[in-house]
Structure 1
Amino acid sequence: MADPGSGPAGQTGMPRVPIPELKSLIDEMSRELTEVTARNAELQETFRTASATAMSDKRNLSVTVGARGELTDLKFHSKDFQRMTPAALAKLILDTTRKAREQVDERMREQVTPHLFEGLDYDGLMNGTFDFTSFLPQVPESANLPYTSRVKPASTGQEED
């Protein structure tokens, strides 16, 4: 019969953890998982529902954008636009949309940044410039591993001859 403190098939060297401490550790990990899951749900809700509305300087146009800056509503509050040149109207719409995008971006930054891992940059994450390889461990050049210098191309679904 194997020693109760030994590992699988009687292997020794595995740490012994008393049952009360193990239960405490499991309870702590369960609480942390519950907190992370709740924060994740909050972030998903933020990304799903975030929006901002901006008003043009002359208050004749309002623009609403979603979390990713997509245009979700456009309202003219006067008939001024009927007398505008196409270029002036385009500028009015673009400028007002830009203001709304800046507002929603600031709201997203405020809500998302506290939940990011240390070293993860909100701006880089949102504009696609964050280097995710910075989270990977560095392979020493002395390791001379053949796969570090070659990347296998993704399959195109076509057979090679």
Structure 2
Amino acid sequence: MSGYEQEIDRLLADYRARRDEADSVRRRINEVTGTATAPRRVVKVTVSARGELVDIDFPTGAFRRMTPRELADVLKTTIAEARAAALSEIDSMVFDHVPLGLSPSALLSGTADIGRLLPAEPESQEAMRDFLKHGLFETRRDDS
């Protein structure tokens, strides 16, 4: 087996390992929930990693003394806190798997700088040109 074939096999094995790892992280993310409790224990909510409401609990009767508008505001605030807790946990789970400075919570909230992830021009243009000029393709022409 030539050096290039060994390198291709190594790259494919590395790709498969990274893909398996990404699938494992995805499964763990799908299990994440975030929980928050409002002041005075008016309401306790749990949301999934996608921000879907999983559970609502009224641990005390404090909600009975609130107007519908007050209760709605407390619910919205508490749901947002629970979602932030879930996203924070996801950020810590995948910190080593995403480009530096990019977080899943920023992607999900729409605040991510996509230019950092996918720049308008790839940084390695010269390296690729050099590879094409002197690398694998040059060697194959010489072998024929």
**Do they superpose with TM above 0.5?**
yes
1:136 aligns with 2:120: yes
1:106 aligns with 2:92: no
Deviation string for 1:36-65 (max 9, x for gaps)?
Answer: 112210232134222111122222421011
Separation in 2, partners of 1:35, 1:135? 26
Q: How far apart are residue 86 of structure 1 and its match? A: 1.3
Structure 1, unaligned stretches of length 5 or more?
A: 1-18, 139-161
Among residues 43, 49, 58, which one is paired with 2:31 in the alignment?
Answer: 49
Residue 29 and residue 43 in structure 1: after superposition, are their counterparts in 2 closer, same or farther (change >3 A)?
A: same
Paired residue for 2:63? 81
Separation in 1, partners of 2:35, 2:85? 8
Paired residue for 2:18? 36
Separation in 2, partners of 1:112, 1:51? 15
Separation in 2, partners of 1:128, 1:94? 19
Q: Check whether the contact 2:41–2:62 (CA below 8 A) recurs between aligned residues.
A: no
Structure 2, unaligned stretches of length 5 or more?
A: 123-144
SS class of match (1:97):
helix
Number of equivalent positions? 119
Paired residue for 1:149? none
Q: How far apart are residue 33 of structure 1 and its match? A: 1.7
Identity %: 25
Deviation string for 1:95-152 (max 9, x for gaps)?
Answer: 221221121111111112321135x6225422334335843327xxxxxxxxxxxxxx
Paired residue for 1:156? none
* TM-score (norm: length of structure 1): 0.61
Separation in 1, partners of 2:110, 2:63? 36
Provide the aligned C-alpha RMSD in A: 2.5
Q: Check whether the contact 2:46–2:55 (CA below 8 A) recurs between aligned residues.
A: yes
Q: How far apart are residue 23 of structure 1 and its match? A: 5.2
Paired residue for 1:91? 73
SS class of match (2:73):
helix
Among residues 46, 54, 67, which one is paired with 1:72 in the alignment?
Answer: 54
Greater radius of gyration (CA): 1
1:61 aligns with 2:38: no
Letter of the structure 2 residue corresponding to residue 121 of structure 1: L
Separation in 2, partners of 1:128, 1:95? 19
Q: How far apart are residue 31 of structure 1 and its match? A: 2.7
Q: How far apart are residue 67 of structure 1 and its match? A: 1.0
